[in-house]
Chain A
Amino acid sequence: MHTLSVDNISKRYGRELVLDSISFSVEPGTVLGVVGPNGSGKSTLFGIILGLRASDSGSVQLFGDSNIQNSKHRIGVAMDQGSFYTAFSARKNLRLSSIVKGVTNVDIDAALQQVDLGHTGSKAYKKFSYGMKKRLEIADAMLTDPDLYILDEPTNGLDPEGIVFIRELVKKLQAAGKTVIISSHYLQEIEKICTDILMLRKGKMLFYGKAAELREKHGDLEDYFLTNKN
């Protein structure tokens, strides 16, 4: 059974086709890198997979089930834009998140320590640095020890230390047999950590397959991306 199957997804905003017949499937234990420039359709694709947006055509299956609602407890998501109560502390925000996930007995302090936010105490989320906000998103994604992680631009705007942290985290998740889908426009970063690549440009799928296959056939990921500009 595939962890994720996307079949012929298309999406338009007005006259603009932002996703054009996208199909791919993700096996358990895969680290899939979704790459593409800003506006290539990465976030729209994630929104459709997560049920935040409706596609115009096609279907999505998570763990073999087309009702996404049934699989939400098996997914951990770290979105690019922070989605926490700005006046609440990291602890309170994670407590609220645990209620939504139906797992109120989780160790919030341990979750915060995992991402080095154990010291934040009652500090409000709005006073967090960008990197801290990203790490809180990661802690939230890991709260229920899900099978599938969806990380939307997790390294975006991070300092080198933060990027290394994400890289190490993805390696740990992969070693634990988790499936990770990670989007980024940092091609070199994606090449370092992903087993599979999905390349998008203007809503079209430029490449989908093993990262090694891409390297073998087309050389460097960046070169391939730049030579397929149009």
Chain B
Amino acid sequence: MQQGIYSDFPLKRIFHYEWARLWRTDSIILSSVFFIIVLGVGYGSSFTGNESAAVAMISQGMPSLGRLFTVFFVILSLGGDYSQGTFRKRLISGYGRVDIMFSTFWILIQGVILFVLLAFIALLLTKFVTGINLMSYFTGSKIMNLMLIQLVHGSLAVLLISVIQRTGIAILIYFVVGLVEGGIAIYFMIKLQDPGLSILLPLNGSEIYASLPSDAPFWKYLPTPFYVLAFFFISWLKIKKAEF
């Protein structure tokens, strides 16, 4: 495969391209809005008056914000590629379909990292303004859990936009999936008296998965990775067969 100056390391072309187009209006607006929201949540949590209560509040809110940011980021980025024909342009100009898949995956990783960076800066600012140290939220395990939840929701977003190729409808279906899952989770909790069964669900399951104790039965570790792999595999099948 001929890739000019990138022939020594083809993935560098994808990183270079995605970095160059990251700075577009929709991603800047989205990042700004979420930065302000995290700032607000951080500032609001400072009213609890002590660090541990504030960090507990942040820990509750951050996964919801992180997954929403990632889903919007992924769907807006990829939806733009489909609607503006830029995937087609890239396929004509030198990308293969595998490169399109790697690009898609890299956009998800960008979304995950970008939110963690935004949250870091916003909470650092909050610390200077309020004097309450919210930076203790950034422990290894909390960040890993946050990123895992973002990854699962983001991979569903990748699947939806790859299949539907329409930004608005993909976002709508994401929320519908969330609602349906919520209903099933309530059924597990009330009718079956076993809320732990929610680990079998793709989205709700990821949050349980993120906080599994180390002595949890082995099978509980399986559903979430399975869903992520399945979402990517189906997306790949779709991209491989798609007519651009």
Contact = CB atoms under 8 A, between A and B. Distances in A.
Interface stretch (A34-42, A68-76, A157-165, A167-175): A68-76
Contact of B24 (A53, A69, A73, A88): A88
Contacts of A96: 17, 20-21
A50 interface: yes
Interface string B11-27: 00100110011001110
A100 B5 contact: no
B2 A52 contact: no
A166 B168 CA distance: 38
B6 A52 contact: no
Interface in A65-109: 69-73, 75, 77, 79, 81-88, 92, 95-97, 99-105
A175 B90 CA distance: 29
B84 to A, nearest CB: 6
Contacts of A77: 92-93
Given A83-B85, A100-B94, A72 B80 contact: no
Interface in A84-142: 84-88, 92, 95-97, 99-105, 140
A120 to B, nearest CB: 18
Contacts of A50: 91-92
Chain B interface, DSSP helix/strand/loop, else mixed = helix
A64 interface: no
Contacts of A105: 5
Given A84-B84, A102-B7, A97 B89 contact: yes
A23 to B, nearest CB: 22
Contacts of B26: 87
Contact of B21 (A75, A79, A85, A140): A85
A209 interface: no
Nearest to B90: A100
A72 B94 contact: yes
A47 B88 CA distance: 10
Given A100-B94, A102-B6, A69 B1 contact: yes
Contacts of B86: 83-85
Nearest to A95: B20
A177 interface: no
Contacts of A102: 2-7, 13, 94
Interface residues of A, number: 34
B89 A52 contact: no
Contacts of A81: 85
B141 to A, nearest CB: 37
B22 to A, nearest CB: 11
B183 interface: no
A73 B91 contact: no
A81 B80 CA distance: 15
A84 to B, nearest CB: 7
A103 B244 contact: no
Contact of B95 (A86, A88, A95, A100): A100
B196 interface: no
Interface in B1-56: 1-7, 13, 16-17, 20-21, 24-26
Contacts of A75: 92
B92 A72 contact: yes
A86 B84 contact: yes
Contacts of A71: 2
Contacts of A53: 243-244
Q: Give the one of A84, A87, A99, A101 with max B CB within 10 A.
A: A99
Given A83-B86, A85-B24, A85-B84, A104 B96 contact: no
Contacts of A70: 1-2
B241 to A, nearest CB: 8
24 contacts: A47-B243, A50-B91, A52-B91, A54-B243, A72-B92, A72-B93, A73-B4, A77-B93, A81-B85, A82-B85, A83-B88, A83-B89, A83-B92, A84-B86, A88-B21, A92-B20, A96-B20, A99-B17, A100-B13, A100-B17, A100-B90, A101-B93, A102-B7, A104-B5
For the complex of A and B, 10 pairs with smallest distance between CB atoms: A102-B4, A83-B85, A83-B89, A100-B93, A102-B3, A53-B243, A73-B2, A52-B244, A99-B17, A72-B94
Given A100-B90, A101-B4, A104-B16, 7 more contacts: A47-B243, A51-B91, A73-B4, A77-B92, A85-B86, A96-B20, A102-B4
